[in-house]
Amino acid sequence: MQPTVDIISLLRRKAGTFPAREQRVADYVQDHLQDVTTIALSDLAQKVGVSEPTVIRFCRTLGCDGFRDFKIRLAQNLAVSMQYLAPEDLADDTTAADVLSNHVLGVIVDNLRLLRDQLSSTEIDKAADILANARQIAFMGVGGGSTTVAFDAANRFFRLGIPAQAQSDGYLQRMLASTFGEEDVLFAISTSGRPTELIHSAAIARQYGAKVISMTHPQSPLAAESDLVIGIDMPENPDIYKPTATRHVFLATIDIIATAVARRTPDRTLEKLRRIRSSLLTLNPPTGRQPIGD
């Protein structure tokens, strides 16, 4: 796998340290980032007033194989960077707490409404049936958002009397998947459905007969490697300063599935919840209805 190179940061960090002619190329590139991704080598050299070999040396100074490699890496870098290099203008009052509260909460509410329209009751019922009869469940995610959801899901399900764990390390995901069998469930969580670790772990688990449920984009590679897909496709809000609201959608979906599983196994669920509540008596004296935990 080719390492990721942040061309834009390299240009900024090396500014003023290039040889004189290469510095002229660097200055032009800095001022015309998007144009350079589609320009020909000869045209760039002519515009800067240097030779083509000078442009190629400049590219190699940045760790690229040549001009073509440089353009590809710059284009990839810009594809994810432009929204941060030229963010939308903010209104004067967008730092006020009341405005921010309404904005952030509004996006969460809008996404939850979209979720209600997207969720399939058939998929939820099938997932609940599988999970209610599982010997053990491994919730897997990679990256910040999906990892957080996976840990919360494991926290929800062990309370129902089903051995559940969360795993975010790619190596351990594969190792754990290889120990699963027909009574076990791997529950993969991913917004994009493209992390290699999850796709490989799903394939390994299915190879040994385990069921794979994924909560992900319905047309993703991870979805294709799953027995059951809880399809979720949420648009990202253009406000780059606000944390993604997709995690709230994922957490809400986990709560829906966990509730469905709990209602399928009332005797087991009630006994486990009673025991957990009893174990916390010395920490949280009874004062009416409380959340389990703190």
Q: Whole-angstrom Cα distance, residue 125 to residue 122?
A: 5
- The pLDDT value recorded for residue 254 is 97
User: Region 118-139: what's the mean pLDDT?
Assistant: 96
Query: What distance in Å separates the CA atoms of residue 292 and residue 247, rounded to the nearest whole number?
Result: 22
Average pLDDT over residues 246-273: 94
Q: What is the pLDDT of residue 6?
A: 86
Backbone φ/ψ region at 291: left (φ over 0), alpha (ψ -120 to 50), beta: beta
Q: What are the strands of the beta sheet with 184-189, ordered from one edge?
A: 164-167, 136-140, 184-189, 211-216, 228-231
**Using one digit for the tens of pLDDT, what is the confidence trace for 197-215?**
999 999 999 999 999 999 9
**Residue 293, pLDDT score:** 61
Each residue's pLDDT tens digit, 1-17? 455 678 889 888 988 89
Residue 1: both structure tokens together = 């796998």
What pLDDT does residue 4 have? 65
% of the chain with per-residue pLDDT over 70: 89
Model confidence at 294, pLDDT cuts 50, 70, 90, reads low
| Span 81-88, average pLDDT | 70
pLDDT of 103 reads: 77
Number of neighbouring beta carbons within 10 Å of residue 292: 13
The answer to whether the CB of 223 falls within 8 A of the CB of 237 is: no
**Average per-residue pLDDT for the chain:** 89
pLDDT at 164: 97
**What domains can be seen in the chain, in order of their start residue?**
5-82 (1.10.10.10), 95-262 (3.40.50.10490)
Percent of the chain with pLDDT over 90: 66
- What integer is the mean pLDDT of 234-258? 82
Q: Which one is predicted more confidently, 290 or 168?
A: 168
At residue 244, the pLDDT reads: 74
